[in-house]
Amino acid sequence: MLLPSQRALFEIPDDVIWLNCAYMSPQLRAVRAAGEEALGRKSQPWRIRPDDFFIGSEEVRGLFAQLIHGDAEGVALVPSVSYGMAVAASNLRVREGQRLLVLDEEFPSNLYCWRELARRTGATVFTVPRPPDGDWTRALLGQMDERCALVAVPHCHWMDGTWVDLVKVGARAREVGAALAVDATQSLGALPLSVEAVQPDYLVAAGYKWLMGPYSQGYLYMAPRHREGQPLELNWITRRGSEDFTRLIDYRDEFQPGARRFDMGERSNFLQLPMAAAALRQLLAWGPESTQETLRELTRRAARGAEALGLEVAPEAHRAGHLLGLRRRGGYPPDVTARLAARQIYVSVRGDNLRVSPHLYNTAAEVDRLLEALGSVSSSSAAVGR
């Protein structure tokens, strides 16, 4: 189902074209209101009860679980992707000589921890080369065998939106005995994902892009078999009985149930959690399926127009519908984003790709304005080069 424009729910001026959700989402009005109300409460700490240290985090945990078709017992609250991947790396069993698979040009938060794990264990980080046709699924399956200890992938590539079929990759990982770690930062909320179908060992997502929440609020889901592992932090609130503030010095070795032992310290953020909850409620109301279908219409329009300008895009069968890379051979002029910003059009450049990432506040007319501006930028750049 295509969704109507949701621009009224955001504070975006009429003359601003924000096609840059992959960089950072605008804040929904409801999210801002939740933050302002929370700020008022924090200014009056007598309004914050001991129960509030638990209620907000449990609400957010449950909402995130709904979004991924998982159980709340498997959700931990973390500050970042690097934190969540570090939890995974510290709990995986890897042997010398095994391979850790990552994609070419992967985002650093899903790479550095695996390099360190390889250094500690004698394993090897193997980079799957970028496929010319954009079919990451085929490229990954061709490299997955009994040598693999880990497959660490996104749902779609952060630079151009090329897509990974996580269900197929997850099934193959289980066949060869490899763990699957997913960075869903550039997809979750705009692209449907079910942990029931994918069965990842670990799934991590930062919350300030497609999840439309505050910065430094992220999420970690882990499969049941990993929930008894070792957390990065040993904080008080993750221990059994921590709800009773009068008995905190009755020190306990037992943890709270499920993945709560992996929660970050000070997870009961009285400003961020109400904002995150408001964002997740809105995403669930829209539905990732309808959001994806609606955004695909916009990126399809952008792809057609870009190809007419001589730019390259991945085949539609191999790309997500909410994030599109417009590739220019030889790259773009270093000032291209500044020149577009001067026209109040905001995108990002990643590698040789101009990354277009719309959301429900964008329109077909705004995509057309981007294409018109790109035509002018391209022709002036070519003139300078002659």
DSSP string, 264-293: PTT---TTHHHHHHHHHHHHHHH-HHHHHH
CATH of the domain at 35: 3.40.640.10
Q: Cα torsion for 88, 355, 8, 214, to the nearest 10°?
A: 30
Residue 309 included in any domain = yes
pLDDT at 384 over 60: no
What are the pLDDT digits (tens) for 349-373? 999 999 999 999 999 999 999 999 9
The interaxial angle of helices 288-308 and 364-385, nearest 10 deg, is: 30
How many domains does the chain divide into? 2
pLDDT at 380 over 60: no
Residue 255 included in any domain = yes
Question: How confident is the model at residue 379, as a pLDDT?
Answer: 61
Mean pLDDT of the chain: 96
Single residue among 285, 316, 343 that ends a domain in this structure:
285
Residue 128 sits in the same domain as residue 251? yes
Q: What is the mean pLDDT of residues 141-154?
A: 98
Residue 294 sits in the same domain as residue 279? no
pLDDT at 123 over 90: yes
- Which DSSP state fits 262? G
Residue 144 sits in the same domain as residue 192? yes
Residue 25 included in any domain = no
Question: How confident is the model at residue 377, as a pLDDT?
Answer: 75
Burial 311-321 (b: 16+ CB within 10 A, else e): bebbeeebbbb
Q: What is the mean pLDDT of residues 94-103?
A: 98
Residue 193 sits in the same domain as residue 265? yes
Task: Report CA torsion sign: 158, 163, 166, 169.
Answer: negative
Percent of the chain topping pLDDT 70: 98
Residue 327 sits in the same domain as residue 203? no
Angstrom distance (rounded) from CA 44 to CA 62:
27
Question: How confident is the model at residue 383, as a pLDDT?
Answer: 38
Q: Nearest CA to 16 among 294, 282, 363? A: 363
pLDDT at 20 over 60: yes
Residue 66 sits in the same domain as residue 43? yes
Beta strands 179-183 and 202-206: pairing type?
parallel
- Model confidence at 378, pLDDT cuts 50, 70, 90, reads low
Angstrom distance (rounded) from CA 46 to CA 361:
39
Residue 277 sits in the same domain as residue 135? yes
Q: Nearest CA to 64 among 225, 221, 286, 229? A: 221
Question: How confident is the model at residue 386, as a pLDDT?
Answer: 27
CATH of the domain at 11: 3.90.1150.10
DSSP 25-78: PPPBHHHHHHHHHHHHHHTSGGG--TTHHHHHHHHHHHHHHHHTT--GGGEEEE
Residue 340 included in any domain = yes
Single residue among 241, 268, 285 that ends a domain in this structure:
285
Q: Nearest CA to 331 among 347, 314, 307, 353? A: 353
Residue 262 included in any domain = yes
Give residue 210's domain range: 30-285
Question: How confident is the model at residue 226, as a pLDDT?
Answer: 98
Q: Would residue 71 be called left, alpha or beta, if left means φ above 0 and alpha means ψ between -120 and 50 degrees? A: beta
Instruction: Give the E-state strand segments of the chain in sequence order.
Output: 17-18, 75-78, 99-103, 124-128, 148-154, 179-183, 202-206, 218-222, 324-327, 345-346, 348-350, 353-356
Single residue among 234, 269, 285 that ends a domain in this structure:
285
Residue 129 sits in the same domain as residue 192? yes
- Which DSSP state fits 246? G
pLDDT at 385 over 50: no
Phi, psi (rounded to 5 degrees) for 41: -65, -40
Q: What is the mean pLDDT of residues 313-330?
A: 96
Residue 203 included in any domain = yes
- The answer to whether residues 239 and 260 touch, using CB atoms and an 8 Å cutoff, is no
Residue 2 included in any domain = no
What are the pLDDT digits (tens) for 177-209? 999 999 999 999 999 999 999 999 999 999 999
Angstrom distance (rounded) from CA 118 to CA 206:
24
Residue 243 sits in the same domain as residue 338? no
Residue 280 included in any domain = yes
Residue 174 sits in the same domain as residue 302? no
Question: If residue 138 lies in a helix (H) or strand (E), which one and from where to where?
Answer: helix 136-141
Instruction: Give the E-state strand segments of 105-167 in sequence order.
Output: 124-128, 148-154
What's the pTM value of the predicted model, to 2 decimals?
0.95
Residue 12 sits in the same domain as residue 83? no
Q: What is the mean pLDDT of residues 150-169?
A: 98
The interaxial angle of helices 272-286 and 29-42, nearest 10 deg, is: 160
Residue 247 sits in the same domain as residue 274? yes
